[in-house]
Amino acid sequence: MAEYANIIVDIYQGKLDKTFQYRVPERLKSTIAVGMLVAVPFGSRKMQGYVIELTDVCEYEEDKIKEILSIVKGGVLIESQMIALAGWMRENYGGTMNHALKTVLPVKEKKKAKEQKTIRLALHPVEAKNELAECERKHKTARAKLLVALLEQRELEWETATQQMSVSASVIRAMEEAGIVKVVSKTAYRNPVGGLDPGGEQKKLNEEQQNVVSKITMEYDAGERKTYLIKGVTGSGKTEVYMELIAHVLAQGKQAIVLIPEIALTYQTVRRFYNRFGAQVSIINSKLSAGERYDQFERAKNGEISVMIGPRSALFTPFPALGIIIIDEEHEASYKSETVPRYHARETAIQRAKMTDAVVVLGSATPSLESYYKAENDEYCLLELKHRVQKRPMPLCEIIDLREELRRGNRSILSDRLSELMEDRLKKGEQTMLFINRRGMAGFVSCRACGHVIKCPHCDVSLSQHGSGAATRLVCHYCGYTTIQPGLCPVCGSKYISGFKAGTQKIEQVVKARFPQARVLRMDMDTTRTKDGYEQILSAFSNHEADILIGTQMIVKGHDFPGVTLVGVLAADLSLYISDYRASERTFQLLTQAAGRAGRGDIPGNVIIQTYDPDHYSITTAKEQNYEAFYGQEIEYRKMMRYPPVWNMLYILCASKNEAEASEAAVALMGKIDQIVRENSEKIFPIGPSDAPVAKISDVYRKVIYVKTREYQTLVILKDGLEAFIKDNRLYQNVAVGFDFNPVNG
Ligand code: ADP
Ligand code: ZN
Ligand code: ZN
Q: What is the per-residue pLDDT for 441? A: 37
Q: What is the per-residue pLDDT for 189? A: 36
pLDDT for residue 187 is more than 60: no
Q: What is the per-residue pLDDT for 438? A: 61
Q: Give the model confidence (pLDDT) of 129-149 as tens digits.
A: 888 888 888 888 889 989 988
Quick one: pLDDT band at residue 738, thresholds 50, 70, 90?
very high
Q: Give the model confidence (pLDDT) of 38-66 as tens digits.
A: 899 988 888 888 888 888 888 878 888 89
Report, as an integer, the average pLDDT of 84-107.
Answer: 86
Q: What is the per-residue pLDDT for 245? A: 98
Q: What is the per-residue pLDDT for 194? A: 53
Cα-to-centroid distance, 93 and ligand 3 (Å): 27
Residue with the bigger pLDDT between 472 and 661: it is 661
Quick one: pLDDT band at residue 713, thresholds 50, 70, 90?
very high
Q: What is the per-residue pLDDT for 198? A: 57
Cα-to-centroid distance, 477 and ligand 3 (Å): 7
C-alpha 595/C-alpha 568 separation (Å) is 8
Q: How high is the mean pLDDT of the chain?
A: 86
Q: What is the per-residue pLDDT for 112? A: 45
Cα-to-centroid distance, 702 and ligand 3 (Å): 14
Check pocket membership of 244 for ligand 1, CB cut-off 6 A: no
Distance of CA 615 to the CA centre of its chain: 31
Check pocket membership of 433 for ligand 1, CB cut-off 6 A: no
pLDDT for residue 439 is more than 80: no
Quick one: pLDDT band at residue 578, thresholds 50, 70, 90?
low
- pTM for the model: 0.80
Quick one: pLDDT band at residue 201, thresholds 50, 70, 90?
low
Q: Give the model confidence (pLDDT) of 349-372 as tens digits.
A: 999 999 999 999 999 999 999 999
Report, as an integer, the average pLDDT of 696-713.
Answer: 92
Check pocket membership of 232 for ligand 1, CB cut-off 6 A: yes
Q: Give the model confidence (pLDDT) of 482-517 as tens digits.
A: 888 888 888 888 888 776 555 777 888 899 999 999
Report, as an integer, the average pLDDT of 710-737.
Answer: 92
C-alpha 207/C-alpha 210 separation (Å) is 5
Contacts of 197 (CB under 8 A, 6+ apart): none
Quick one: pLDDT band at residue 16, thresholds 50, 70, 90?
low
Check pocket membership of 390 for ligand 1, CB cut-off 6 A: yes
Nearest ligand by distance to the CA of 451: 2
DSSP strand pairing (45-55 vs 37-42): antiparallel
pLDDT for residue 432 is more than 80: yes
pLDDT for residue 127 is more than 70: yes
Cα-to-centroid distance, 124 and ligand 2 (Å): 36
Backbone angles phi, psi at 624, to 5 degrees: -85, 0
Check pocket membership of 209 for ligand 1, CB cut-off 6 A: yes
pLDDT for residue 542 is more than 80: yes
Report, as an integer, the average pLDDT of 296-305.
Answer: 88
pLDDT for residue 663 is more than 70: yes
In DSSP notation, 236-298 reads S-HHHHHHHHHHHHHTTT-EEEEE--GGG--HHHHHHHHHHHGGGEEE--TTS-HHHHHHHHH
Q: Give the model confidence (pLDDT) of 606-620 as tens digits.
A: 999 998 888 999 999
pLDDT for residue 454 is more than 80: yes
Q: Could you give the ipTM of this predicted complex?
A: 0.95
Long-range Cβ contact pairs of 667-674 (< 8 A, separation 24 or more): 668/729, 668/731, 669/705, 669/722, 669/725, 669/726, 669/737, 670/705, 672/721, 672/722, 672/725, 673/705, 673/707, 673/718, 673/722
Q: What is the per-residue pLDDT for 205? A: 94
Summarize the annotated binding site for Zn(2+) as residue ranges: 447, 450, 456, 459, 476, 479, 489, 492
Task: Give the closest residue (by CA) to ligand 1 atom 19.
Answer: 237
In DSSP notation, 141-173 reads HHHHHHHHHHHHHSEEEHHIIIIIS---HHHHH
